[in-house]
C-alpha cells in the first residue's frame, strides 16, 4: 500500500502558517488529481488547495479551525492497493476497482485504488483455495467469524470517479466525524451544503437539533440555531451585533471575551509593527479644492462608456497618483536592507486598501500605470469586490509599489497612514465636504478634501514628497492637468 502525505505548501511569499478553514473531503473519499481537498486561510486570503495525487483519503491530519505551519502534513492519501497474488489476480471491470497511473514510482505499472463503497477483493487469508489431500487431516479450529462492517452512510458509486460523483455527493448526507470518539457526542448527519452553511454562520452542528428524515440536520435547523445564538448575543450586547466575538471565549463572569489573533489580524499587526519601526515615516498634508473633480465624476456617471463601472472620486485620486508617479518616478522604489540597495520600480502596482469583514487587506492593481481611466475604474471595482468576498490571492497582494487608503468613506478628514511593507509611499484620501472657500477672490461653497502622504524618509526626501503631493492635488483641483501630463 502506497500512502502519501501532503504537507501544507507556501502559497504566498514567505508564508509560514495558515488556518484550516474547511475540508472538502472526508476519510474514505476518493479524490482525483487537482481536486480541491481543503480551503485554507493565509495571512490575507482564502486559498483552495488541490490534491497532487489520485487515491483514497485515509486521514485528515489537521482539524478545521487550527493553525498549521508550512511543511506540516495535513492530509494522507492512499494511492495504491496491496500487492495481488500472481495468476488470475487481475481484476475485471466489475470488481469495483479502477486502475490509476501514478507516475513512474511503481515501475511503470498502474496502481489500484478502490471506488468508495466498493466491496474489497477477497484475500488469500479470507478465502483460502482448497487443496486436495490424500488423507483427511485433523479439523482445524474454526476461524472466528469476521466482524460485520458498519453500514455505509453513503451508497457505493456505480459510475467512474469524476464530476458526476462530486455533483451527486452534494445531495447526500454525510457523517460529521469531527468529534473525538468516546466523548459521548452523537454523530451528526448533514449534507455538504448544510455543513458549509453552518461553518459560514459559525454554528456547531453538534448543537443543532435535527428535524430532517432519519435525523438529518436541515438548512432550516442551522438557520434557526444561528438566529437563536444571535438573539443571545444581542441580549448581552443590545446596542450592537458583534460578529467579531463569535470565535472568542467568554470569561466566567461574562465581562471579557478573548479572541485568538489569527490570519488577517495577525499578519496586519506584524506588518504594521515591522513597517513602523523599520522605515522612518514622514507625513505631509494638503487641503484641496476638488470641485472640478466632483463635476467630472458626475459627468462620467452619465457617460455610456462608464455605464458598467462605479465611478467615484477615488478613481480620479488614483489616476492623479499614477500621473504624479510618472512625473516623480524616484518615489516608486523600495529599500533592500540586506543588499543595502534602493530598488527603483519601472512599473506601478497600485495598492488599494480595502476594509473587509476579515480585516484590512491591500491588494494591488498590476501595471496600473498602463491603464486608461476606464481600465483603472474596472480594475478598482474588481479588486474591491474580490477583497470583500475574501477571495484575494496572495499574488494579488505581493509586489505592490504604492498604496492609496480611502479614509474618506468613513467620514474621516485625514490621517497619518503607515506604509505597506516594501513600499515607499502611501496616500490617504480624506472625506470630501462642502466648505466655504476663497475662489476667485470671493468666499463660495466648494467641495474640499484633505490629502496626507506618508513616505519612507530613507528613500524620499521632504522636497520630493512635497512635490509629489502637490502634483496629486493639482490634478484633483483641475483634472485637465491629466491631459497635459498624460
Tens-digit pLDDT profile for residues 284-327: 999 999 999 999 999 999 999 999 999 999 999 999 999 999 99
Given a cut of 80, is residue 386 above it in pLDDT?
yes
Confidence band, pLDDT 50/70/90 cuts, at residue 450: very high
Distance CA 251, CA 272 (A): 29
What does the pLDDT look like over 206-249, one tens digit per residue? 788 889 888 889 988 888 887 776 655 444 444 445 655 666 67
CA 178 – CA 241 distance, rounded (Å): 29
Interacting residues of 132 by C-beta distance below 8 A, sequence separation 6+: none
In the set 281, 328, 457, 481, the catalytic residue is 457
Band of pLDDT at residue 146, cut at 50, 70 and 90: very low
**How far apart, in whole angstroms, are the C-alpha atoms of residue 179 and residue 163?**
29
Check whether 483 has a pLDDT greater than 90: no
Cell of 296: 467630472
For the domain made up of 265-485, the CATH class stated in words is alpha beta
Give the chain's end-to-end CA distance (angstroms, integer): 65
Q: Could you give the residue range(s) of every CATH 4.10.320.10 domain in the chain?
A: 170-260
What confidence score (pLDDT) does residue 320 get? 97
Taking CA atoms, 356 is separated from 172, 196, 218, 379, 485, in Å, by 34, 20, 29, 18, 34
- Give per-residue pLDDT as tens, 64-105: 888 889 899 999 999 865 444 434 333 333 333 333 333 333
Mean pLDDT of the chain: 77
125-152 exposure pattern, b = at least 16 Cβ within 10 A, e = fewer: eeeeeeeeeeeeeeeeeeeeeeeeeeee
Separation of alpha carbons 321 and 485, rounded Å: 12
* Cβ–Cβ < 8 Å for 459, 342: yes
Predicted model pTM:
0.55
How would you class 457 by CB atoms within 10 Å of its CB: exposed for 0-12, middle for 13-18, buried for 19 or more?
middle
- Can you give the pLDDT at residue 85? 40
Which residue is listed with cell 485515509? Answer: 58
Any idea which of 183-187, 287-291, 302-306, 374-378 has the lowest mean pLDDT? Answer: 183-187
The per-residue DSSP string of 115-154 comes to PTTPPPPPPTTTSPPP---SSPPPPPPPPPPPPPPPPPSS
Give tens-digit pLDDT for 452-477: 999 999 999 999 999 999 999 999 99
Q: At what angle do helices 313-327 and 291-301 cross, to 10 degrees?
A: 120
- The residue among 144 and 319 whose pLDDT is bigger is 319
Q: Residue 69 and residue 15: Cα distance in Å, rounded?
A: 9
Q: Output the DSSP codes for 64-111.
A: TT-EEETT-EEEEEE---PPPPSSTTPPPGGGSEEEE-BTBTTTTPPE
Active site annotation includes 286: no
User: Which CATH number fits the domain 170-260, given the four candidates 1.10.30.50, 4.10.320.10, 3.30.70.1110, 3.40.50.2300?
Assistant: 4.10.320.10
**Local structure of residue 304 (DSSP, 8 states):** G
pLDDT top residue among 121 and 400: 400
Domain with CATH 3.30.559.10 in the chain: 265-485
Residues of the chain with CATH 2.40.50.100: 1-115
Domain topology for 1-115: OB fold (Dihydrolipoamide Acetyltransferase, E2P) (2.40.50)
Amino acid at each position: 500500500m502506497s500512502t502519501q502525505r501532503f504537507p501544507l505548501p507556501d502559497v504566498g511569499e514567505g508564508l509560514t502558517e495558515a488556518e484550516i478553514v474547511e475540508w472538502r473531503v472526508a476519510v474514505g473519499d476518493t479524490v482525483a488529481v487537482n481536486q480541491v481537498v481543503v480551503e485554507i486561510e493565509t495571512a490575507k486570503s482564502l486559498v483552495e488547495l488541490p490534491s497532487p495525487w489520485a487515491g483514497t483519503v485515509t486521514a485528515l491530519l489537521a482539524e478545521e479551525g487550527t493553525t498549521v505551519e508550512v511543511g506540516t502534513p495535513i492530509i494522507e492519501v492512499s494511492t495504491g492497493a496491496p500487492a495481488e497474488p500472481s495468476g488470475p489476480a487481475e481484476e475485471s471491470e466489475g470488481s469495483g476497482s479502477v486502475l490509476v497511473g501514478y507516475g513512474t514510482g511503481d515501475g511503470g505499472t498502474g496502481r489500484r485504488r478502490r471506488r468508495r463503497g466498493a466491496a474489497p477483493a477477497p484475500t488469500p487469508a479470507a478465502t483460502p483455495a482448497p487443496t486436495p489431500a490424500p488423507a483427511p487431516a485433523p479439523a482445524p479450529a474454526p476461524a472466528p467469524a469476521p466482524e460485520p462492517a458498519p453500514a455505509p452512510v453513503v451508497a457505493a458509486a456505480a459510475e467512474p470517479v469524476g464530476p458526476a460523483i462530486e455533483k451527486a455527493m452534494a445531495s447526500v448526507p454525510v457523517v460529521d466525524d469531527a468529534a473525538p470518539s468516546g466523548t459521548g457526542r452523537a454523530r451528526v448527519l448533514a449534507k455538504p451544503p448544510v455543513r458549509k452553511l453552518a461553518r459560514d454562520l459559525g454554528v456547531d452542528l453538534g448543537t443543532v437539533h435535527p428535524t430532517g428524515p432519519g435525523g438529518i440536520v436541515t438548512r432550516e435547523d442551522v438557520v434557526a440555531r444561528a438566529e437563536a445564538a444571535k438573539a443571545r448575543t444581542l441580549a448581552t450586547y443590545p446596542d450592537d451585533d458583534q460578529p467579531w466575538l463569535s470565535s472568542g471565549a467568554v470569561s466566567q463572569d461574562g465581562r471579557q471575551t478573548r479572541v485568538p489573533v489569527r490570519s488577517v489580524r495577525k499578519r496586519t499587526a506584524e506588518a504594521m509593527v515591522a513597517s513602523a519601526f523599520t522605515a522612518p515615516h514622514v507625513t505631509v498634508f494638503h487641503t484641496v479644492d476638488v470641485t472640478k473633480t466632483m463635476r467630472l465624476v458626475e459627468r462620467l456617471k452619465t457617460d455610456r462608456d462608464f455605464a458598467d463601472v462605479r465611478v467615484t472620486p477615488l478613481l480620479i485620486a488614483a489616476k492623479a497618483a499614477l500621473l504624479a508617479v510618472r512625473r516623480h518616478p524616484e518615489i516608486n522604489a523600495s529599500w533592500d536592507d540586506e543588499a543595502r540597495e534602493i530598488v527603483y520600480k519601472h512599473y506601478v502596482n497600485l495598492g488599494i486598501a480595502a476594509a473587509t469583514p476579515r480585516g484590512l487587506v491591500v491588494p494591488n492593481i498590476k501595471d496600473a500605470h498602463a491603464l486608461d481611466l476606464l481600465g483603472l475604474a474596472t480594475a478598482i471595482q474588481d479588486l474591491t469586490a474580490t477583497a470583500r468576498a475574501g477571495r484575494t490571492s496572495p499574488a494579488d497582494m505581493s509586489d505592490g509599489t504604492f498604496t492609496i487608503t480611502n479614509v474618506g468613506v468613513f467620514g474621516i478628514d485625514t490621517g497619518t497612514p503607515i506604509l505597506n511593507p516594501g513600499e515607499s509611499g502611501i496616500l490617504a484620501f480624506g472625506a470630501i465636504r462642502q466648505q466655504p472657500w476663497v475662489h476667485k477672490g470671493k468666499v463660495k461653497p466648494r467641495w474640499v478634501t484633505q490629502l496626507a502622504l506618508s513616505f519612507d524618509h530613507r528613500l524620499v526626501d521632504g522636497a520630493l514628497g512635497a512635490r509629489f503631493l502637490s502634483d496629486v492635488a493639482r490634478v484633483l483641483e483641475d483634472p485637465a492637468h491629466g491631459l497635459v501630463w498624460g
